[in-house]
Structure 1
Amino acid sequence: MSESWLDEPARRTAVLGEYEVVVVGGGPAGVMAAAAAARAGRSTILVERYGYAGGAGSAGGLSTFCGLHANVHGEHRQVVHGLADELLQRIDALGGLNPPHLSFANRILAQAYDISAYKIALDELLVGSGVQILFHATAVGVRMHDERRVDALMVESKSGRGAIRGQLFVDASGDGDLAAWAGAPYEKTDPAHGMLYPSLMFRVNGVDAEAARATYDRLPALMEEAERSGRYRFPRKRPIVRPQRNPLEWRANITQLANPDGSAIDGTDVWQLTRGELQGRRQVRDVFPFFQEDVPGFAASYVVDIAPSIGIRETRRIVGPYQLSEDDILDCADFPDAIGVNGWPVEAHVAGDVEIRWQRGENPRGYNQLPFRMIVPQVLTNTYVAGRCASMTHEGQSSARVTGPCFAMGQAAGVAADLALGAGVAVGDVDVTELQRRLEKDGVWLGGEGAR
């Protein structure tokens, strides 16, 4: 019987570079953090495990920006601005944007886009901002300067193992990898008791868009009827099936990935990730005939693409001085250290379904501010955490994990990195008033009176 562990010999590791700002993860938070830091004049590297940026919006096949907009007293408005505006313009210049569409019973807007255009626009944004990009490199550990300061990020790639030294780090890994390895406290909801379920997205081509749109609202009823007949069993209710840039092509978000015991697939466990990939493709195989047979407009359609990776919604949440909560979302909370806003409802992917909880009141403002404290981890003095692994409760993360607030957190982290380095202070001690001034100067709306 083999032993559970084996010892590896000590080795020397090549230093691949030294930078003022090292950003881990090329999702929406990471790209904005890297671009903002580089534009502030800081030598900046972005480390990404795939060969392109975008995170769930590219590798996960998401193809829709959620959280850019809010329903402000009944009026649909874009509330996330700054670098997000420039990115949208770049995608639009490539012919890759749909007009924003209403979602969740027509209560909020979402923004569909073409994934290929998104990848190219992100390349242009990052390179144009002066970011050094390192694709095909997986973060695997950290070397500490002392118990509170990270010295280097360790990576593995086809070139072997390497170290990237930095003065300041931004963990935008989604899973809070860097911060957790460095000793920052974190929470992770038990997969058997509430962790958000992942999904695998797929795209369908050859759709008769006119027929499909005419009966779109009937899709849940058609699914229920198909289940009653015994012909199909769907992994979850509340499907999201939307047209893309070309109305012949639609995106389907209908899968839900679980372990044999019913618990959510844990995105920090490689065996569960493998199970989720296999299960997701089986679910696509099993549910797609329903569209061809039962859903108007899909009779001649076919699956043109299954996302390269399953979409993880929740794993580690790094604990900072403040955790954004569900009450903050539903009560449209304000914070004196606001760095941006979030207008998305609580979207909880529970076993077999999706639960939506909206902001409270008869005519709610429709958005909450995001506090600077949610991107500051405990213990660490030279690391910010941005994106779905930032400091939030499980319920708060069910809202603020989406793209719009991740854009906002990322841009704030990049600007804050410049301020911390310039002042020679710990990440939590930057001048928040100056941070807010810089963000507003760069076009970010912080949620004051009068939505843009």
Structure 2
Amino acid sequence: MAATAAARQGRSTLLVERYGFLGGAGTAGGLSTFCGLHAKVHGEHVQVVHGLADELLERLAKLDGLSAPHLTINDGILAQAFDISSYKLAADELVTGAGAGLLFHAMAVAVVMTDEATIDAVVIESKSGRAAVRGRVFIDASGDADVAAWAGVPFETSPHLLFPSMMFRINGVDVAAAGERPWRTVERLMDEAEQAGTHRFPRKKPIVRPQRNPLEWRANLTQLSNADGSAIDGTDVEQLTRGELQGRQQVFDAFAFIRDRTPGFGSSYIVDIAPQVGIRETRRVVGDHVLTEDDVLDCVDFPDTIGVNGWPVEAHVAGTVEFRWQRGEDSRGFNQLPYRMLLPQRVDNLLVVGRCASMTQMGQSSARVTGPCFAMGQAAGTAAALALDDGSTLRGVDVGRLQQRLRGDGAFLGDEPA
């Protein structure tokens, strides 16, 4: 979204991607579901993330890659399932159609600084060797705040990180035999097995849901940890290696239980295990505003809003998932996202978007999901272009003009009826 927005403003833009495809957690992480596009607004389920997100959904629909939005988290909010292969192509089309350049199979490894406050280049490694990508503005959408950390931006790392997962998909489900809401059956059977002492599962509250074709289901029920019980750290290569090995073992153990115990799954099989561990939290930069859990739960407004977030707090703690919903009997259901949470301290030509933007751990437990990340990305790409147009710093961007540009491009900022 950041690269598309910047390129559409006429700016020379390069997106550097370590894999051979786009989509991040949605593809490499195997999520296959956009969370956070919707909110429960005064009791009604409403899509609240628009703009470039709408264009992506339209491209996916043309590829027959979308399911109808489905209820999740105890039927409290909608999520949007999609076909992973279709997403890869739709993302290609969105970014290249905007005129942005792509560099696949390249990984950022360092930065070169002009001075303490200015990045001159990002150093990358690829099969072609080492190179440097120079630019006037940089956007860190790495998820781990890699560029920001190398550039000296202050960041936080929680003493108890949120636990990662390994996603997988099951095919060959007998839909008729599975009956209605078999995910409830899976959860009940897991609870009964644990109470009987026959099984121990790494986490409670499994998520098992049908895909575009109901013969295929996605499964999210693993939890990856170190020997001492702490969460795998996505910035530590040895821990990541442990997580991949442990995750695949957990996948097969969980699948065997589902196959052997759940009606309709007796002839099913694992069709895919995600190419990478699904990391939820590592570094979080310290920006001009730090989004908090109270900001989320109290549906707070900000004068520099650049989009909204309607997802509840979803904390993946040891052994389970804790959910906290927006407060109030007739909640508006979403908070605004301030531009200031994208502005890291100390470095002037850098914006940070996604799960490593400026948030507390519990604020991030809500706003790390896809919908608000899409909103942050579109805002960052637009703000970068405006700063270059006006010859201003990123902090000097006219927020009113930024908001006007975002509205003109279809974004919903939360300052009018949803």
Q: Secondary structure at the match of 1:427?
A: coil
Check if 1:312 corresponds to 2:279: yes
The letter for the 2-side match of 1:222 is L
Q: Could you say which residue in structure 1 is the equivalent of 2:175?
A: 209
Opposite residue 295 of structure 1, the aligned amino acid is T
Whole-angstrom CA distance in 2 between matches of 1:213 and 1:352:
28
User: 1:232–1:287: 8 Å Cα contact kept in structure 2?
Assistant: no
Partner letter of residue 59 of structure 1? A
Partner of 2:354: 387
Cα deviation digits, residues 160-183 of structure 1 (max 9, x gap): 111000010000000000011001
Residue in 2 aligned with 1:408?
375
2:412 is matched with which residue?
445
**How far 1:389 moved relative to its partner?**
0.5
Q: Contact 1:232–1:290 at 8 Å: present in 2 too?
A: no
In structure 1, the partner of 2:191 is 224
Matched AA of 1:188: T
Aligned-pair identity (%) = 68
Q: Is the deviation greater in 152-161 or in 282-291?
A: 282-291
The answer as to 2:106 corresponding to 1:140 is no
Distance 1:266 1:92 in 2: 36
SS, match of residue 251 in structure 2: helix
User: What pairs up with 1:81-100 in 2 under 5 angstroms?
Assistant: 81-100=50-69
Find the counterpart in structure 1 of residue 324 from structure 2.
357
Offset at residue 231 of structure 1 (A): 3.0
Inter-partner Cα distance in structure 1 for 2:327 and 2:87: 34
Cα separation, 1, equivalents of 2:324 and 2:262: 28
Shift of 1:213: 4.5
Aligned to 2:30: 61
Query: Which of 150, 160, 163 pairs up with 1:197?
Result: 163
Q: Any conservation in 2 of the 1:102–1:110 contact (CA below 8 Å)?
A: yes
Report the Cα distance in structure 2 between the residues aligned to 1:228 and 1:330, rounded to whole angstroms: 33
Please give the alpha-carbon distance, in whole angstroms, between the structure 2 residues aligned to 1:212 and 1:431.
55
Q: Letter of the aligned partner of 1:138 in structure 2?
A: M
**C-alpha contact (below 8 Å) 1:237/1:353 kept by paired residues:** yes
Residue 20 of structure 1 is matched in structure 2 by: none
Q: Distance in 1 between matches of 2:134 and 2:172?
A: 49
Secondary structure, aligned partner of 2:67: coil
Query: In 2, Cα distance between the equivalents of 1:114 and 1:150?
Result: 37
Query: What is the one-letter code of the residue matched to 2:218?
Result: R
* Matching residue within 164, 176, 179 for 2:133: 164
**Distance in 2 (alpha carbons) for counterparts of 1:156 and 1:149:** 21
CA contact (8 A) 1:237 1:354 kept: yes
String of CA shifts for 1:301-320, please: whole Å, max 9, x gaps.
00011000000000000110
C-alpha displacement of 1:226: 1.5
Is 2:75 aligned against 1:106? yes
Partner SS for 2:289 = coil
Structure 1 position 224, deviation (Å):
1.1
Match of 2:310 among 343, 356, 381: 343
Give the whole-Å Cα distance in 2 for the aligned partners of 1:429 and 1:357: 36
- Structure 2 spans left out of the alignment, 5+ residues: none
Aligned partner of residue 279 in structure 1, secondary structure: helix
Within the candidate set 352, 363, 372, 1:396 is matched to: 363
1:366 aligns with 2:321: no
Q: Is the contact between residue 183 and residue 207 of structure 2 (CA under 8 Å) also seen in structure 1?
A: no
One-letter amino acid of the structure 1 residue matched with residue 391 of structure 2 = G
Structure 1 vs Structure 2 CA RMSD: 0.8
Which amino acid in structure 2 is aligned with residue 374 of structure 1? M
3-state secondary structure, aligned to 1:429: coil
Amino acid at match of 1:242: R
After superposition, where does 1:119-134 map in structure 2 within 5 Å? 119-134=88-103
1:425 corresponds to which letter in structure 2? S
SS, match of residue 277 in structure 2: coil
CA contact (8 A) 1:343 1:367 kept: yes
User: Which of 38, 42, 59 is the matching residue for 1:73?
Assistant: 42
